[in-house]
Amino acid sequence: MLPSGLQYFPVTLPFLLVLVALFGLVVGMAAMRLLRYASISMGISLPALATILALSLLGSYVNIPIAYLPEKETTTLAHIDFFGVTYAVPVVHEWAATIVAVNLGGALIPIAVSLYLLAKHHLWLLSAIGVAIVAAVCHFVARPVPGLGIAEPVLVPAAATAFVALLLSRRQAAPLAYICGSLGTLIGADLLNLNKIQGLGAPIASIGGAGTFDGIFVTGLLAVLYAGLVRYAR
């Protein structure tokens, strides 16, 4: 039986409100016609683009279980002093079982959109280079956090993605930013650290969920904002 706490928003209320505010900012761009320009640059219709962003945010609540890591026992040495003599004795630690899940809004939706953008804009080579760079950066800064899973600074994926996208192609920086930011973060922070999940004591390890969702979502917003500004500047 799956635990009742499997579904939850990956960030706490204050940070969730910040993400909602950022999403509202993107939606508000429509008043300045920037969102329409962004949809043209991304190759996605205006209603579809707004829907994707909204579903990504709301879908972060949904975790789909795909694997189960059993309880793990580890042994460490403890030192006990007794009448002036220090003894080393083994102590067994039991880590709780962990459910490995895939987050709908932070993994499945970004992957689907990235594949669509890859095929539409034929960015296979540039995306492969960009994803590899962003993945390397995210893997370098990601850290296993006991009780949580894998986490990384929220602005690192967005900053790395912005630099890489502009470096590879200014004309197609918007779709590149979404692809490289989404896939690079998922690969570098989550997939390459799956071997570190067991033993952290996290009840749920969500790929694209807690610890990485905020970075992926902010990267998606960055791609849209950049697309609108670049297209508008023309």
What pLDDT is attached to residue 82?
40
Give the pair of three-digit tokens for residue 223: 């791609």
Query: Does 77 reside within a domain?
Result: no
Q: Are strands 143-145 and 85-95 parallel, antiparallel or unpaired?
A: unpaired
Tell me, yes or no, whether 156 lies in a domain.
yes
The CA–CA distances, whole Å, from 26 to 38, 46, 57, 177, 180 equal: 10, 12, 13, 16, 20
The confidence score (pLDDT) of residue 50 equals 79
**pLDDT at residue 111, rounded to an integer:** 94
- Of residues 172, 164, 157, the one with CA closest to residue 208: 157
Query: Is residue 88 a part of any domain in this protein?
Result: no
Phi/psi at 81 (nearest 5 deg)? -95, 130
* The pLDDT of residue 204: 74
**131 backbone dihedrals φ, ψ, rounded to 5°:** -60, -40
> Quick check: is 89 in a domain?
no
Q: Pairing mode, if any, of strands 204-207 and 98-103? A: parallel
What is the value of pTM for the model shown? 0.74
Q: Is residue 58 part of a domain?
A: yes
Domain membership flag for residue 85: no
Q: Which domain holds residue 210?
A: 4-70+96-233
Number of domains forming the structure of the chain: 1
pLDDT at 197: 76
C-beta of residue 171 within 8 angstroms of C-beta of residue 118 = no
On whether residue 225 sits in a domain, the answer given is yes
- Divide the 234 residues of the chain into consecutive groups of 10 and give the mean pLDDT of each group: 52 65 64 65 80 84 81 51 43 62 89 93 93 93 76 81 85 86 90 78 75 74 66 55
3-state secondary structure of 20: helix
**Is residue 63 situated within a structural domain?**
yes
| Rounded Cα distance, 60 and 23, in Å | 14
Q: How many residues does the chain have?
A: 234
